[in-house]
Chain A
């Protein structure tokens, strides 16, 4: 089996999972700015699937593609530390306000520019939106088949790939041709940690945006080692139609946002002492909640 060319789509997201006390405002709502930016968890599951293919099929290359603000270069570096070969950051103010449709339009143009490829692998969904839409929409725009909710890429043959897919109440195994778009479910294996060798190798990897205002020495280092450059693409680099980007390219509009404030109930605090438990149970039985 020859090496594969794999594009991993990933997103940098605010860590909405652990909204700790410091991220809560006095009115009980979330202070988004206080949340750390992380590598979207299921995109890490996706990266791991790609890395396993790279282990198995020598010559495989992994390109990480992300769209986001300048600092999203961080997740490209993170992917390099774990074994990705290079990365592209789609960044432009004109992408701002894009919903999933406009986002998948932009990503699909970038993917076309990276052609040819065998696989596009991404996480099923991102934790800031949980929509699970970008993967299938990218597949549609590339006119490629898709396998969503993947749990394991079992094998890759000359022209076909076998993938196990998670269902609500079971699993199915599918056989598909290449190229293909795969979205990976959180039940897939976790991503391996950083590799010491790659962490040293890519420590100074920077995007052009990050290289502004750095010293001459640093620029020279980048010139000597071209693999340290994290590529940046703007709207013009991917030749995008502005009408299909940002707010104008997004059919969904947000009409209203409400912060969730759970109305607290008046809670009666009990101790584990027999009396307290017995009284509670008695009350529940008398109120016909139980019994």
Chain B
């Protein structure tokens, strides 16, 4: 009762990165409120899955292991999570802001008539006094997120309803192991009682998962291109610069939409959040949704032929000019002056 729950997504036997990040955050939220951290894993072939979970400081792992529960489909997972939440009455429930978590969490919120905040960028614990009634609420979950296209930051609370539900995107929270030797309890969920045949009306007839090849999230150096790069062909220049510097290539949404670069490399509010030591923004105007994903970079260089581009306001260096002229010069100098 009254604990912090994290719904863990699983793909081919591995707990998703976003879920591990949520467990890390969940651990600190649980410690802060003196309650336990509990994980929920629903899938099939889950033997030994606790080995991936307990190091995050999980006190109780709830498992439902059944062939019919993998791959994820909405109704059976929703029925089980709803049943479990009604039984365990968590104070907080966290989900990844993914095609799974954002499919599942709203269904749970609707069924339990409780509040849900999507795509939180920070989660904190704090108190609240209702202005009109002077009513005091202690230890609420502050669900902090950008809204209005990233132009405002809102702090949302659910004073009266439990659980307090939130989703968080991958890469927003840090993945931090609590202690490698930590052990918790495993509880088999008695899920059959919550399921009916009707929950299996949707069939997955084909599934195609690309192994993620790129990992811009952990790159120390990022060379990012925007619509101003102009073409997929020109993006080769960025790959070359990233190659010699030992970095990764990323893109703005306009570059992704233009087909210059894959979606996996998109930085920003609807892409990945990055914090490299060096971010080189080439032909990126720096709309707020893009900046939200990279403004924490240690050093920012903007290459843009428009001296008034908004990105320049947050750049440490602005090179005003044509990127196709500037990038080769950078490569040339670097190659000449390093071994």
Contacts and interface: CB of A to CB of B under 8 A. Distances in A.
Interface of A: 14, 16-17, 19, 29-30, 32, 99-101, 104, 127-137, 139-141, 145-149, 162, 165-177, 250-260, 262-272, 274, 276-278, 280-282, 284-285, 289-291
A32 B202 CA distance: 41
Given A32-B148, A104-B110, A256 B329 contact: no
A253 B147 contact: no
B92 interface: no
22 contacts: A16-B149, A101-B116, A128-B148, A131-B118, A132-B106, A137-B107, A140-B110, A141-B110, A148-B103, A165-B99, A169-B209, A170-B207, A173-B205, A173-B207, A264-B313, A264-B314, A265-B316, A268-B316, A269-B320, A272-B320, A272-B322, A278-B333
A148 B105 CA distance: 12
| Secondary structure class of chain A's binding surface, majority of residues | mixed
B319 A280 contact: yes
B217 interface: no
A148 B155 contact: no
B243 interface: no
Given A101-B110, A285-B337, A290-B334, A251 B203 contact: no
B22 to A, nearest CB: 15
Closest 6 CB pairs of A and B: A16-B149, A272-B321, A251-B115, A140-B110, A136-B106, A252-B115
B125 interface: no
Contacts, number: 252
Contacts of A291: 334, 338
Interface residues of B, number: 93
A99 B326 contact: no
A147 B106 contact: no
A265 B202 contact: no
Contacts of B143: 252
Interface string B306-329: 010000111111111110011001
A17 B145 CA distance: 17
A285 B339 CA distance: 12
B103 A149 contact: yes
A172 B208 contact: yes
Contacts of B99: 148-149, 165-168
Contacts of B48: none
A136 B107 contact: yes
| Secondary structure class of chain B's binding surface, majority of residues | mixed
Given A172-B71, A251-B114, A272-B326, A145 B319 contact: no
B202 A145 contact: yes
B177 interface: no
A170 B208 contact: yes
Given A253-B158, A264-B313, A282-B337, A132 B128 contact: no
Contact of A176 (B118, B202, B269): B202
Contacts of A165: 99
A140 B313 contact: no
Contacts of A19: 149, 151, 287-288
B277 interface: yes
Interface in B149-183: 149-161, 170
A130 B113 contact: no
A137 B115 CA distance: 12
Contacts of A276: 319
A175 B73 CA distance: 11
B209 A16 contact: no
B233 interface: no
Given A148-B103, A176-B202, A281 B321 contact: no
Contacts of B15: none
A30 to B, nearest CB: 4
A186 to B, nearest CB: 9
B102 A270 contact: no
Contacts of B201: 145, 176-177
A201 B98 CA distance: 42
B299 interface: yes
B152 A133 contact: no
Interface in B271-322: 277-278, 287-289, 291, 295, 298-302, 307, 312-322
A276 B321 CA distance: 12
B194 to A, nearest CB: 15
B210 to A, nearest CB: 5
Contacts of A130: 118-119, 147, 149, 269-270
B75 interface: yes
Interface string B96-136: 00110011111101110111111100000000100000000
